[in-house]
Structure 1
Amino acid sequence: MSGRIPKQFIDDLLVRVDIVDLIDSHVQLKKAGSNYVARCPFHNEKTPSFSVSRNRQMYHCFGCGVSGNAISFLMDYSHLGFVEAVEDLAAFVGVDVQREEGGDYSVSDKEDVSRVYAVLEQVAAFYSQQLRGEEGVKAVDYLKARHVSGDVARDFGLGFAPQAWDGLLGRFDRQSLIDAGMLVERDDGKVYDRFRGRLMFPIRDKRKRVVGFGGRVLDESLPKYLNSPETLVFSKSKELYGLSELLEKNSRPGRILVVEGYMDVIALAQYGLTNAVAALGTATSKAQIDLLFRFATELVLCFDGDNAGRQAAWKAAEAALPALKDGRQIKIMLLPQGQDPDSLVRLEGVAGFQSRMNDATMLSDYFFEAVVGQLDLSSIEGRSQLMAAAKPQLEKIPSGFFRDMMWRRLGEMTASRLVDVPENTATLRPLGERGAGKFNQKRPSLARRVLALLIQHPNLQQVAVRRELSLDGLQYAGQELMDDVLRKIALEKPENGAILLEAYRGSSYEKMVTALAGMELNVPEGGEEAEFSGALTQLRRQARQEKLGELLAKEGRDGLTIEEKQVLRTLLKETL
C-alpha cells in the first residue's frame, strides 16, 4: 500500500512547521546569535557544532557536514522513510496528511490501516493479559525454564494465545481481525483464530506499532513457529523482530547482531545483549539489511553451524552485497555445531560471546572462501570457475572503494588480467551527479557563493531579475547547476530554502544543493540582498572577461563567425 502525497501539501507543511521547535523537541537547543545550536545528534562531539536557522528553516553541522530541512531531520534522527517522516511532521503540526485523488490511496485506505493497527495493539494487550491468567501458566513455566525474567517478558510484550478457536472473535471486530491476519477464513466463510495455545511474540515496526505476531508451540506439535501472514501493515521481508525494542534501548547502536529466532533475541536480551534482532522465518533480505544500516554501520549475521545455517549464511551474503556501500561493514558469525545463541552465551558468557562477534569473519573473506570452496586455483579450470561464480555477485555491489577492492581481489586470486575493475564513478567523481565534475574541479568561490545565497534565500532570484543581472550567454564553472536552480525557483516559487531543498530530493543535484544549503556565508541578517547583488555582479564581470579574452584570442587565431563578432562587440561595449 502506498499513496502519493501532493507536493503542495509538503510545501505547505514546511511553511507551517518551525524547524527550531521541531528539533528542540528532540535535541535541546540554545540561542546563539540569530541561530540555535546544540551538540550534533548525528555524531559524537564535546562542543556544539550543530546549527539551526529559523530564518532559513534548515540545519547544518559544521562537524560532520550534515544539512537538511525538517523532513530530512526526522528521516535521519528517527530513522524514517520519506512518507513516514511527512506523516510524523504532519502530526507534529496537527494536520492530516493529504493524498492525491485518483491515486492508489484513499481516505478509506487510511481508515483501514488505522483500524488494523488499532486491533493489533488490542490483541497484543489481550495476549499479554492471558499470559498472566490460568491458561498462561504453561507459557510462564516455559519462559522460566528458559531463564526469561519478568522484566524481559514485559519489555518484549510477550503473551499467550488461548487454546480456544474463537478466543479473539468474541472480543474484537471480525473484519478488522481478518484484515490483520489474526483469523483464518475457511471456504465456507467461517473463521477461527490463527494462533491457539502458543507463546506470542508481538512484532513491532520501528515506530513501535504492532504489525504482526509470531507464535511458538509449547509442546511437540508442528509447525513449531507460526507467523502472521502478509497484511496491509506487515511484510515479513521488510520487518525484523526486536528492532523496536533495540532502538528503545539505544537509538544509534554501533553494531547490530542478526540472529535466526525470536527466542535467540529474548535470550540474549536476558544477558544484557540488547542489540540483537531476528529475521521473521525467511532468508535475510536486502530490504532488512538496508533498514538495519539506517541505525548502525556494522552488522553481524549469526547462523547455526550446520548445513542449513551455512546455506542461510550464503543467502544472506548474496542479499547483503547490493547493500554494501562504502562505510558499511558486515560480518558472518557461524556458531559451533549444536549451539544456538542462547546455549552459547550460557556456555561462554557474555564476554566470550562478544569476543566471537568481534572475531567474526568479514563478508569479503567469507564470500571468497565460499565461492572458492573445493576449487583448485592452481589450474586454469579452477580459476575460470571462480571467475564465473564470483563475477555475477560482484556486479551487484554499488560503486565505491569496497567494490573496487573486491574486483581487484578476484583478479589477484585468478591471476587474470581479464578482470578489469569496472569504472567507478563514485570514486572518480565524489559528488556523483551529472555536471558535478566540472563544478568540483574548479570550485570557483564566486559561483559557489552566489549559488549558496540563492539556495538559502530563493527570494534573491527576484533581485537578479529586478537589477537585470542576467547570466544568460555566459560560461563559468557551475553554470549547469546555476541554470537549474534559477529555473527551479522560477517554476516552484519556494517560500524558503527548506522548500527549495525539498524540490531537489532524489534528483541528481541533491548532494550539491544540500552542501550549498549548509554553507556558512557569514552574512549579517538583512544583508543577504546586498551580498548577493555584489557577488552576482562580480561573477558576471568575471565571466564576461573570460569570454572576451576567449573571443579576442580566437579572432587573432581563426577569425570569428558573425554571431561571435556580435557577442564581441557587445562585450567590448559593456567593458568600456
Structure 2
Amino acid sequence: MSGRIPKQFIDDLLVRVDIVDLIDSHVPLKKNGSNYVARCPFHNEKTPSFSVSRNRQMYHCFGCGVSGNAISFVMEYSHLGFVEAVEDLAAFVGVEVPREDGHDSGGADKQSVSRIYSVLEQVAAFYAEQLFGVEGEKALDYLRARGVSGEVARDFGLGFAPRGWDGLLGRFDRQALTDAGMLVVRDDGKVYDRFRGRLMFPIRDKRKRVVGFGGRVLDDGLPKYLNSPETPVFSKSKELYGLNELLQKNSRPGRILVVEGYMDVIALAQYGIGNAVAALGTATSKAQVDLLFRFAAELVFCFDGDNAGRQAAWKATESALPALKDGRQIKIMLLPQGHDPDSLVRAEGVSGFQARINDATVLSDYFFEAVAGQLDLSTIEGRSQLMAAAKPQLEKIPSGFFRDMMWRRLGEMTASRLVDVPENTATLRPRNMGIVNGSNQKRPSLVRRVLALLIQHPNLRHVAVRQDLSLDGLQYAGQEVLEDVLHKIALEKPENGAILLEAYRGSSYEKTVTALAGMELNVPEGGEEAEFSGALTQLRRRARQEKLSELLAKEGRDGLTIEEKQALRTLLKESL
C-alpha cells in the first residue's frame, strides 16, 4: 500500500502501546522492583538479564546489550521491517495505519489487500482438503513415493488443485481471486483457474500469511512447476519458500540452507533437516539474501552439480556480494552429478549430508575459482583477464574487513601493485564513540550520565532551561551529541524516551542514543530530576574550568584576542 506512515501516528502508537503488555505476550515477564525481567529472547542465557521498564517504555538486556522501544522489539522478535512492525503493533492495539498518500484511496487499497490475503488463506484450506479427496489420490501417491509423512504435509499445508477449469470460481469471490493471481483472464474476458491438477505448495511470508502458491504437475505436462504471478502481496524475488515454516521451528537458526525447489525443502524436512528454504523459480536475489541474513549469520547455497546448477550458484554469488558485511558468511555446496538433496540424503544419510554442508566451499574460495576458471595466471594476459572479471564484482562488497581481504587476495593472485585496497571505513573510529565506551576521553562518564538521564527522561530538558544551565561557548567530550539531543527534544517534544529513541531511527547518532537509552543509572524513582540537575551543574563547572585553564595558558603563551579576553573576564567573574 502506497504512502508514508505519518510520524504523529507513530508517536501516538508508542504512547498507546504498553511495552510491558506487548513483550509479556511474547516473553513471560516477572515483576522485579519497578521493572519487569525475563530471560532474553535475543540470546541464550540461564538467568534473566532482560529488563523492561514501564515508566520509560523501553527494554534493555544487560547480557547482550540490546535496547529499544516497542517498534524495535517487534522488528527484532518477529524479524520484520519497520513498516511491517508498525502495522503489527497497530493491530496489537486495534487501530488502523493511516497513510500520507494525498488521496482517499488508502482505505480502499487496504481493503483490497485484506481481501487478497483472506481469499488466499481460504484457497489454501480448500486445496489442503482436496488433497484427501478422490481427485487428490494421485498427489497423495506421489507424496508417499517421495516418503513424505502426513505430519510434514500438514506442517507445510500441502494441497491439491482439482483438474477442472473452475474449481475456485464457484466457491470464492471472482475479483479477489483475480487480484490474488489465482485466475487467468483471457482477452475475451473469460477466466479459468490458473492451477489445475497440480500438487500445491502454499507460500507463506514471515508473518504466516499465504501470499502465493507453487504447483507441481503429476504427469509429463509442462511447465513442471508453476508459480503465482506478481500481485500486490507477492513478489517472487522477495519471498522464500519454507522460511515461515523454518522460523516456526527455530526463530534464530545459526545456518540456513538455500536449495533449488519446493520438494527439496519438503524432502529435507522429512529427514529432520528443517533449516532449508528455496527461491521461487528465479535466481536468488539480493533482497532474499538480505532477508535470510536477518535470521542467520551463515547461508549455504546448495545447487545441483550440472551446468544449470553452476550457473545458479554464480548468480547467487553475484547477488550475495553486496550483502556480505563483516560477520556474515556464505558457502557454496554443489551436489554430485545426478543427485538432488533428496537422493543424496537417502544415499549418504543425514550425517553424510550434514558433513557436506560443513565442508562446503566458502564464498571467497568459490568466487576466485569461478572467475579464474581456465585462465593462465602465469601470464600477464591471464592475470589482466582475472583483474577485469573480479574487480567489478568486488566493488559491490560493502566496506569492511571482508572487502579488504578480497581485494588483497586479488592483488596476490594477479601479482599486481595496481590493486589499491579501498579505505575500510568500518575500521575507522566513529565520532563520539568515547561517549559510549569511554575510551580516550577526558571525562566521558559524566557526559554519558547526563545524556543517559536526558534520553531516558526527555522531560528533564526543562531543568536545564529553568536553571539556565547553559553550556554555550564551552567545549567538552560529547558536546555535539548533547546539543543534538537537547535540540531534538525541543523540536519533537517526545512524551517519553521510547518516542525520542524513535526520532533517532536511521540517524548517525542512533547507535549512541540507543546504547545510552539502555544504560543502568541506579537512580531512585523520582530522583531523576535532582540527579540530572547535579550532573549537569558538575559538567558545566568542569567545562568552564577547562576553558578557564585553556585561556589562562594561552594568555601567558601567545596572548588573547578581544573576544577571548572578554570570555576570560566572564569566566573569572563567575568563578568568584
Q: For the residues of structure 1 that align with 2:520 and 2:375, how far apart are their CA atoms?
A: 57
* Offset from partner CA, 1:233-274 (integer Å, 9 cap, x none): 000000000111111111111111110000101111111111
Q: Distance in 2 between matches of 1:328 and 1:263?
A: 27
1:504 matched to which residue of 2? Answer: 504
Distance 1:287 1:101, change over 3 A: closer
Aligned to 2:52: 52
Alignment of 1:82-481 (within 5 A): 82-102=82-102, 106-429=106-429, 431=430, 436=433, 441-442=440-441, 444-481=444-481
User: Aligned partners of 2:325 and 2:251: how far apart in 1?
Assistant: 21
Separation in 1 of the partners of 2:389 and 2:49? 48
Report the Cα distance in structure 1 between the residues aligned to 2:341 and 2:559, rounded to whole angstroms. Answer: 80
- Give the drift of 1:414: 2.0
Secondary structure of residue in 2 paired with 1:60: strand
Q: Give, as a single letter, the amino acid of the residue that structure 2 aligns with 1:423.
A: E
How many residues matched? Answer: 573
| Structure 2 SS opposite 1:565 | helix
Stretches of structure 2 lacking an aligned partner (at least 5 in a row): none
Instruction: Say if 1:4 and 1:103, in contact at 8 Å, map to a contact too.
Output: no
5+ residue gaps, structure 1: none
Instruction: Kindly provide the amino acid, as one letter, of the partner of residue 263 in structure 1.
Output: M
Instruction: Give deviations 1:175-226, integer Å, cap 9, x for gaps.
Output: 1111000011111111111111111110000111000000111111111100
Q: SS state of the match for residue 86, structure 1?
A: helix
Q: 1:424 to 1:2 in 2, by over 3 A?
A: farther
Partner SS for 2:332: strand
Question: Quick check: 2:198–2:217 contact (8 Å CA) kept in 1?
Answer: yes
- Corresponding letter in the other structure for 1:426: A
Q: Which is worse superposed, 91-100 or 321-330? A: 91-100
- 3-state secondary structure, aligned to 1:296: coil
CA displacement 1:7-59 (0-9 Å, x = unmatched): 11111111111111111111121222221111111111122111111111111
Shift of 1:568: 1.5
Q: Do the aligned partners of 1:74 and 1:85 also contact (CA within 8 Å) in 2? A: yes
Partner SS, residue 469 of structure 2: coil
The residue type paired with residue 393 of structure 1 is: Q
1:184 aligns to what SS in structure 2?
Answer: strand
Asked whether 1:35 is paired with 2:35, we answer: yes
Distance 1:520 1:410 in 2: 47
Q: Return the letter of the residue paired with 1:449.
A: R
Q: For the residues of structure 1 that align with 2:552 and 2:16, how far apart are their CA atoms? A: 54
Deviations 1:78-121 (A, max 9, x none): 10111111111112222222222516970111001000000101
SS of 1:535's equivalent in the other structure is helix
**CA-atom RMSD, angstroms?**
1.5
TM-superposed CA distance for 1:231, in Å, is: 0.2
Is 1:66 the counterpart of 2:66 in the alignment?
Answer: yes
Moved more, 183-192 or 401-410: 401-410
Percent identity between the two aligned chains: 87
Report the Cα distance in structure 1 between the residues aligned to 2:434 and 2:13, rounded to whole angstroms.
35
CA–CA separation in structure 2 for the residues paired with 1:104 and 1:400: 46
Instruction: Check the 8 A contact 1:213/1:227 in 2, yes or no.
Output: yes
Note if contact 1:399-1:427 (Cα within 8 Å) is conserved in structure 2: no
* Residues 3 and 103 in structure 1, CA contact (< 8 A), matched pair in contact too: no
Q: How many Å apart are 1:435 and its aligned residue?
A: 5.4
Query: Offset of 1:418 from its aligned partner?
Result: 2.3
SS in 2 for 1:469: coil
Q: Distance in 2 between matches of 1:290 and 1:533?
A: 45
Structure 1 segments (4+ residues) deviating >4 Å = 434-441
Cα 1:478–1:103, aligned 2, differ >3 Å: closer, same or farther? farther
The CA deviation string for residues 320-373 of structure 1, in whole angstroms up to 9 with x for no partner, is: 111111111111100000100011111111111111111111111111111111
CA deviations 1:488-541 (Å, max 9, x no partner) are 000000011000000000111111110111111111111111111111111111
Contact 1:74 1:80 in 2 (8 A): yes
Q: Which residue matches 1:529?
A: 529
1:435-465: CA deviation from partner (whole Å, max 9, x where unpaired)? 5589864271111111111111100100000
How far apart are the structure 2 equivalents of 1:175 and 1:311? 39
1:10 has 2:10 as partner: yes
- Asked whether the equivalents of residues 2 and 101 of structure 2 are also in contact (C-alpha less than 8 Å), the reply is no
Q: Distance in 1 between matches of 2:475 and 2:60?
A: 30
CA contact (8 A) 1:258 1:299 kept: yes
Q: Give the direction of change, closer, same or farther, for the CA distance of 1:251–1:111 in structure 2 (3 Å limit).
A: same
User: Equivalents in 2 of 1:486, 1:104: separation in Å?
Assistant: 37
Query: Is residue 3–residue 101 contact of structure 2 (8 Å, CA) maintained in 1?
Result: no
- Alignment of 1:79 onto 2:79: yes
Q: Distance in 2 between matches of 1:375 and 1:452?
A: 58
Alpha carbons 2:59, 2:69 under 8 Å: kept: yes
Amino acid at match of 2:448: R
The CA distance in 2 between the partners of 1:266 and 1:254, in whole Å, is 20
Alpha-carbon distance, 1:416 to partner: 2.2
Instruction: Evaluate the alpha carbon distance shift between residue 200 and residue 104 of structure 1 in structure 2; reply closer, same or farther with a 3 A threshold.
Output: farther
Q: Relative to structure 1, is the Cα distance of residues 162 and 109 closer, same or farther in structure 2, using a 3 angstrom cutoff? A: same
CA distance in 1, matches of 2:478, 2:419: 36
Q: Distance in 1 between matches of 2:379 and 2:530?
A: 72
- CA, structure 1 residues 36+486, in 2 after alignment: closer, same or farther (shift >3 Å)? same
How far the C-alpha of 1:558 sits from its partner, in A, is 2.8
Distance 1:201 1:8 in 2: 41
User: Is the 1:4–1:105 contact (alpha carbons within 8 Å) kept by the matching residues of 2?
Assistant: no
**8 Å contact 1:2–1:104 — kept in the other structure?**
no
User: SS at 1:448's partner residue?
Assistant: helix
**Does the 8 Å contact 1:99/1:105 carry over to 2?**
no
1:490 alignment counterpart:
490
Distance 1:23 1:180 in 2: 34
Work out the CA distance in 1 between the residues paired with 2:331 and 2:311.
Answer: 16
- Partners of 2:435 and 2:515 lie apart in 1 by 16
Partner amino acid for 2:398? P
Structure 1 residues 311 and 344, CA gap change in structure 2 (3 angstroms): same
The whole-number CA distance in structure 1 between the counterparts of 2:263 and 2:89 is: 36
Asked if the contact 2:237/2:282 (under 8 Å) is kept, the reply is yes
One-letter amino acid of the structure 2 residue matched with residue 461 of structure 1: R
Amino acid aligned to 1:39: R
Q: Which residue of 1 aligns with 2:575?
A: 575
Give, in whole Å, the separation in 2 of the partners of 1:482 and 1:277: 46
Do the aligned partners of 1:227 and 1:280 also contact (CA within 8 Å) in 2? yes
